[in-house]
């Protein structure tokens, strides 16, 4: 049997349930890591000040300000909310999360947006929210149309958000002269939290920087091609995992790594479906 | 409807969606403003990461010691030692990146300030002031006062441009 035939047979053996379990495991893991970090950050952060931040919380709907005051003015209720989130993340990983748990995770995500002024770490929050929205769609639509239909809709939503993120990120960079020349790469790597780059880093060589820039901007821009074939999707996700690891390695963005990896089962499902 | 027709329609719809995205990237779109848009912007991500080099804002701080002498201006910017286990837990770095986002927010708030507006009345300003105060080096302590500046740096080595200088603040 050829490798291609083996791959095709393996793909045929997959079912919606496999993608759902993989998605639940990875999203739950990502949420759990983020929650443990937030718990630690509560002790570290001496800059946030709810008495200042509350001034920009919308006064409508009525009761929102009182709710956020109750949750964020003192550490106890906030930590209890994080504890609940961590518990729900474990249930999600175990495949035991009820629909009410999906609603609660989504609601906590909204409250965290208010606590952290719209985002704690930008893109990773956005993709985590996309995952949680997919989870919410799966459970709410599933309650009405059956869980299989719900999960199909939820996974497609997550897959589309994930593919869109690569597509936009790639082509926006590709439209910039400084990325096409490779000049932008060492400039950004110098700003990384683990930077600056060593003076003799290979990324300071213009040819290497240009090759690396073209490689990953074109690769990102071609993300929609994953929908054509599950093998392309598998290859894309493998390269993406390596790409996100490198982003972590240079910029310290560990949350990005897990937030995007959690969407890969949805991307694979979209290609498989 | 046959499976092939359905597949063709689906692929055409996806093609149209990504073509529309490509068009939208090349055209200026309306900026939505308001408190709810600010808090819920995560639902409408633009997915543009590190796309333009530009002139990023950087926070600088100096402190006035008990003797009345001022320290030199110090750059406040997150740097850390890399470790593989940070892939699983990286709270101090993520908090530092969040604080750098505050600096970016302050620059954006200054740019969006209406004519005659006061940046000190914004929510971001006192938070950045706290960040600056906490960033004063411990070896010069105690401080009686401090001051911070927001400067637009140049990754290409041009001279930085001062965007904001705070008044002298009690430490």
Instruction: Calculate mean pLDDT across residues A36-45.
Output: 97
Q: Are A233 and A222 in contact (CB under 8 A)?
A: no
Label residue A21 by pLDDT band (50, 70, 90).
very high
Give the whole-number percent of chain A exceeding pLDDT 90: 91
Q: Nearest-CA neighbor of A268 among A166, A136, A163?
A: A163
Q: Are A172 and B51 in contact (CB under 8 A)?
A: yes
Q: CB-CB: which of A41, A173, A194 is closest to B82?
A: A194
List the beta bridge partners of residue B170. Answer: B145
Domain ranges of chain B: 55-170
Q: Nearest-CA neighbor of A162 among A262, A26, A23?
A: A262
Size of interface A-B (CB pairs under 8 A): 158
Q: Is residue A273 over pLDDT 90?
A: no
DSSP classification of residue A201? -
d(CA B104, nearest CA chain A) in Å: 12
Q: CB-CB: which of A52, A119, A179 is closest to B42?
A: A119
Query: Which residue numbers in chain B have pLDDT < 50?
Result: none
Q: CB-CB: which of A40, A187, A195 is closest to B53?
A: A187
Residue A113's Cβ-side half-sphere holds a number of Cα atoms within 13 Å equal to 23
Predicted TM-score of the model (pTM): 0.92
Instruction: Calculate mean pLDDT across residues A112-137.
Output: 95
Instruction: Calculate mean pLDDT across residues A145-166.
Output: 95
- Which of A142-151, A157-166, A235-244, B10-19 has the lowest average pLDDT? B10-19
Domain ranges of chain A: 14-272
In this predicted structure, what is the pLDDT of residue A194?
93
Question: Which residues 22-61 of B have a C-beta within 8 angstroms of A?
Answer: 22, 25-26, 35-36, 38-43, 45-53, 56
In this predicted structure, what is the pLDDT of residue B29?
67
Q: Is residue A232 over pLDDT 60?
A: yes
Q: Is residue A33 over pLDDT 60?
A: yes
d(CA B128, nearest CA chain A) in Å: 8
- CB spacing of B101 vs A190 below 8 angstroms: no
Give the whole-number percent of chain A exceeding pLDDT 70: 95
ipTM for the complex shown: 0.92
Report the distance separating Cα A60 and Cα A37, nearest Å.
Answer: 31
- CB spacing of A164 vs B130 below 8 angstroms: no
Instruction: Calculate mean pLDDT across residues A148-154.
Output: 95
Please give the residue that has the higher pLDDT: either A12 or A67: A67
Report the distance separating Cα A167 and Cα B101, nearest Å.
Answer: 24
List the beta bridge partners of residue B152. Answer: B57, B161
Report the distance separating Cα B119 and Cα B114, nearest Å.
Answer: 10
In this predicted structure, what is the pLDDT of residue B3?
72
Q: Are A78 and A114 in contact (CB under 8 A)?
A: no
Two tokens, residue A238: 């493998």
> What sign does the CA torsion over A178, B47, B150, B120 have?
positive
- How does pLDDT run across A179-201, given as a tens digit for each residue? 999 999 999 999 999 989 999 99
Q: Are B71 and B83 in contact (CB under 8 A)?
A: no
Q: Which residue does chain B place closest to A54, by CA atoms?
A: B123
- How does pLDDT run across A158-183, given as a tens digit for each residue? 999 999 999 999 999 999 999 999 99
d(CA B90, nearest CA chain A) in Å: 7
In this predicted structure, what is the pLDDT of residue A173?
92
CB < 8 Å to A188, chain B: 50, 53
| Helix A16-44 / helix A254-261 crossing angle, nearest 10 deg | 160
Q: Which residue does chain B place closest to A195, by CA atoms?
A: B79
Mean pLDDT (chain A, rounded)? 94
Label residue A8 by pLDDT band (50, 70, 90).
low
Question: Which residues 92-131 of B have a C-beta within 8 angstroms of A?
Answer: 92-99, 101-102, 105, 123, 126-127, 130-131
- CB spacing of A169 vs B47 below 8 angstroms: yes
Q: Match 């964020």 to its residue by tokens.
A: A72
Q: Which residue does chain A place closest to B8, by CA atoms?
A: A228
In this predicted structure, what is the pLDDT of residue B22?
82
Per DSSP, the three-state class of A14 is coil
Give the best residue of A106, A127, A130, A168 to mutate against chain B (max B CB count within 10 A): A168
Phi first, then psi: what are they for A61, rounded to 5°? -70, 155
DSSP per-residue codes, chain B: --HHHHHHHHHHHHHHHHHHHHHHHHS--PPP-SHHHHHTGGGS-----S------EEEEEEEEETTSPBPPPEEE-------GGGGT--HHHHHHHHHHHHHHHHHHHHHHPPTT--GGGSSHHHHHHHHHHHTS-GGG--EEEEEEEEEE--TTSPPPEEEEEPPPEE-
Label residue A219 by pLDDT band (50, 70, 90).
very high
Q: Nearest-CA neighbor of A233 among A197, A266, A211?
A: A266
Q: Tell me if chain A has a CB within 8 Å of the CB of B144.
A: no
In this predicted structure, what is the pLDDT of residue A213?
96
């Amino acid at each position: 049997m050829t490798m291609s035939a083996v791959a095709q047979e393996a793909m045929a053996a997959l079912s919606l349930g496999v993608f759902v379990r993989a998605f639940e495991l990875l999203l739950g893991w990502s949420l759990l890591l983020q929650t443990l970090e937030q718990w630690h950050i509560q002790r570290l952060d001496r800059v946030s000040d709810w008495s200042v931040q509350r001034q920009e919380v919308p006064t409508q709907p009525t009761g929102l300000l009182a709710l956020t005051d109750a949750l964020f003015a003192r550490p106890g209720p906030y930590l209890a909310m994080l504890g609940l989130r961590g518990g729900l993340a474990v249930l999600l990983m175990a495949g035991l999360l009820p629909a009410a748990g999906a609603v609660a995770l989504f609601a906590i995500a909204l409250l965290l947006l208010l606590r952290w002024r719209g985002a704690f770490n930008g893109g990773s929050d956005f993709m985590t929210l996309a995952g949680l929205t997919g989870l919410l769609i799966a459970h709410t639509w599933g309650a009405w149309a059956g869980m299989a239909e719900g999960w199909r809709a939820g996974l497609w939503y997550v897959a589309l958000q994930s593919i869109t993120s690569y597509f936009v990120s790639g082509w926006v960079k590709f439209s910039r002269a400084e990325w096409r020349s490779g000049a932008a790469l060492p400039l950004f790597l110098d700003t990384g939290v683990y930077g600056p780059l060593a003076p003799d880093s290979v990324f300071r060589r213009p040819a290497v920087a240009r090759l690396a820039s073209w490689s990953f901007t074109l690769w990102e821009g071609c993300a929609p091609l994953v929908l054509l074939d599950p093998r392309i999707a598998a290859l894309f996700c493998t390269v993406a995992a390596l790409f996100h690891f490198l982003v972590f390695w240079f910029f310290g963005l560990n949350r990005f790594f897990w937030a995007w990896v959690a969407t890969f089962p949805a991307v694979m499902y979209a290609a498989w479906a | 409807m046959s499976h092939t027709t359905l597949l063709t329609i689906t692929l055409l719809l996806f093609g149209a969606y990504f073509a529309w995205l490509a068009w939208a990237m090349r055209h200026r779109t309306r900026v939505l403003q308001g408190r709810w848009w600010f808090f819920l912007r995560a639902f409408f991500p633009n997915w543009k990461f590190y796309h333009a080099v530009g002139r990023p804002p950087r926070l600088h701080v100096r402190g006035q010691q008990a003797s009345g002498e001022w320290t030199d201006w110090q750059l406040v910017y997150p740097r850390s030692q890399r470790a593989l286990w940070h892939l699983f837990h990286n709270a101090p770095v993520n908090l530092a990146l969040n604080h750098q986002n505050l600096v970016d927010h302050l620059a954006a708030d200054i740019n969006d300030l209406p004519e005659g507006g006061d940046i000190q009345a914004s929510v971001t300003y006192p938070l950045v002031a706290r960040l600056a105060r906490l960033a004063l080096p411990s070896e010069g302590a105690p401080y009686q006062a401090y001051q911070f500046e927001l400067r637009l740096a140049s990754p290409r080595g041009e001279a930085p441009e001062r965007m904001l200088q705070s008044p002298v603040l009690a430490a």
